[in-house]
Amino acid sequence: MKLKYFSFLLILFTLESCSIPTGIYIQNLTSKCITLKVKFKKPFKEFYIGDGVKFFNLSEITTVKNWSNKKNATKLNFVEIDDKTFVIHLPPNSTTVIERTHNFNFNLEKIEFNGDEREIEDLLINSTKKRDNYIYQIKN
């Protein structure tokens, strides 16, 4: 009986510690550069581990699977409005990663482009879900 109880606890703790990598990607399907304003719920430095804010882009419409090999990715220039808000210029016909996190714990609050504002909930609903990632497409 003790062995079953111990095994159950071991499995429970193992499953609790699992982490699923998740992300939000934006695909610019248009033939023009799109100015995207990105706002996070809390300051970027509070949830981002690394040497600063970075947004990466692939100059093609691609799948999330291709992001595992980032050697073709380009670091995008951006303007920091404040510690939560950034403006990025999305190249035409490209895929950009906006946020990577674990277990769907997104810090993104909203995006704005072409005068259209999308809250995170609306963005996720209108995105295509591929495994554990969301891909939002800008078509016009």
| Amino acid occupying residue 136 | Y
Confidence of residue 138 (pLDDT cuts 50, 70, 90): very high
Give the pLDDT score at 102. 74
Task: Inform me whether the pLDDT recorded for 13 exceeds 70.
Answer: no
Residue 67 CA to residue 75 CA, distance in Å, equals: 13
Of 2-6, 67-71, 88-92, 105-109, which range is least confident? 67-71
pLDDT tens across 62-101, in order?
666 655 556 677 888 889 899 899 999 999 998 888 887 7
Residues 10-25, mean pLDDT to the nearest whole number: 70
Q: Between β-strands 94-102 and 128-130, what pairing exists: parallel, antiparallel or unpaired?
A: unpaired
List the beta bridge partners of residue 94.
Answer: 28
